[in-house]
Structure 1
Amino acid sequence: MSKRDYIIQKCFDCFVKNGIEGTTTRDFCAEADVNANTLYYYFASKNDILIECVNFGFSQLENALFDALKEFDKSSFDIFPRLTKIGMDFAPQMRFLYQAVSSPAYEEYRDDQFKRVNAFWERLGKELARRFECPYELIKDHIYEIMTLLSYYTLWGSQDMAAIQFNRIFTDFKDAVQSYRRLKDVN
């Protein structure tokens, strides 16, 4: 890992722990074990650090979800509890990411980030459609429900409510895929 990437990771950890306004240059330096000159050698401002940390955070979530997909059989519905756990475990990081993309400091980058996030969810949906051998259009709404539920869970933190909703979404997803397969087999 490069020094710059290491600093980004440590700054991300600071933002997750303290929030945007609660994180100082001193916090970054202490967490990354660098001095301010080194920090500002790599980044022109706290805003630049924020942008890099948002990109890092979304990449971490994307990598975790796609790595989990590799652990399961092609069309195993057992993947869903693992995806749920990743989403729920990632809640503190997601709180920071939502805080960041809604911050005035991030405003000029917001549209690009939303495009990247939406593209990520679409890639995830298309990968699931490929795995379950069904049309993306059949499961697209379920993917958006998952995305929305992760957002709500991240903000409100009710694990019990999220579990109930995740189970409903995944049951509906499974029913849709199995119905599609039955119809496909009949034809």
Structure 2
Amino acid sequence: MSAKKDDKRDAILQAAAQCFSRFGYDKTTLQDIGDAAKLNKASLYYYFRNKEDLFVQVVLLEAERYLGALQEQVQPLMRATDKIVAYLTGRLEYYRQVLNLHQLSIENLQRLEPMFDDVYQAVRGQELAFLGELLSEGVTDREFLKLQPERTADALLTVADGIKHEAVQRARTRFAHEVDYAPVQEKLTYTLTLLLNGLKK
């Protein structure tokens, strides 16, 4: 893609992010996004298949930015355990913010879930590498027993995602942003601490 096309695509993503934030996913139309990007609606189809595709790309961009910043934010913590817990609970906070920002209904969240798998897989590799580094650091610093960093990172991410998804699935609300994440955060922190303590020397 040429630099000019990249610039236009970035402008569309920025406009879409603003519209989704302002109106919520359900109420945002491609016309709104086109107007915000100063393009006609038909032009958007040159860059994106539909509103869902555009939304997924916005979320992917946001995820990469947020999780990258979160990784930097936890680095000053002293122990690997603290870094891992802070990262995975911060990740849950990001998820909550996305749902709040875009005002997704539970129904749309479930409908879009297969598309979010693409986002998840794109980001998961980076997350596994980061958590693997933290776990290796913990082994080197004699905080953890010898372990397989990649497999352990995968297990921790799976547990964190399971707790998050359970909360949304059990929610008795229409909108995902109405889910009370305080008990979820508490459960995640407790579970991660329990698991990581089991890895300690």
Do both share a fold (TM > 0.5)? yes
Q: 1:54 to 1:11 in 2, by over 3 A?
A: same
**Secondary structure of the structure 2 residue equivalent to 1:77:** helix
1:61-118 deviations in whole A, cap 9, x for unaligned?
4323323343434635255246424521441415759946833xx86x6664453354
Kindly indicate which of the two structures has a greater share of residues assigned to helix.
1
**Which one has more relative contact order, counting CA pairs under 8 Å at least 6 apart?**
2
Structure 2 unaligned runs (5+)? Answer: 1-5, 140-145, 169-175
- Equivalent positions of 1:88-167 (< 5 A) are 88-94=93-99, 99=108, 102-103=111-112, 112-133=118-139, 134-135=146-147, 136=149, 137-138=151-152, 140-153=154-167, 155=176, 157-167=179-189
List aligned pairs for 1:34-45, cutoff 5 A: 34-36=38-40, 40=44, 43-45=47-49
Structure 1 unaligned regions, length at least 5: 183-187
- Judged with a 3 Å threshold, the aligned counterparts in structure 2 of structure 1 residues 40 and 140 are, in CA distance, closer, same or farther, namely closer
Identity of aligned residues (%): 16
**Equivalent position amino acid for 2:47 in 1:** F
Moved more, 152-161 or 124-133: 152-161
| C-alpha contact 1:4 1:42 (8 A) present in aligned 2 | no
Q: Which runs of 4+ in 1 moved over 6 A?
A: none
Match of 2:199 in 1: 177
The equivalent residue for 2:142 is none
CA contact (8 A) 2:16 2:33 kept: yes
State the secondary structure of the residue aligned to 1:72.
coil
Aligned-residue offset at 1:165: 0.3
Mean alpha-carbon deviation: is it higher for 34-43 or for 58-67? 34-43
CA RMSD of aligned residues (A): 3.8
1:146 aligned partner, one-letter code: A
Report the number of matched residues.
175
TM-score, with structure 1 as normaliser:
0.65
- Paired AA for residue 115 in structure 1: Q
Question: Counterpart of 2:71 in structure 1: which amino acid?
Answer: F
Q: 1:58 aligns with which of 43, 58, 63?
A: 63
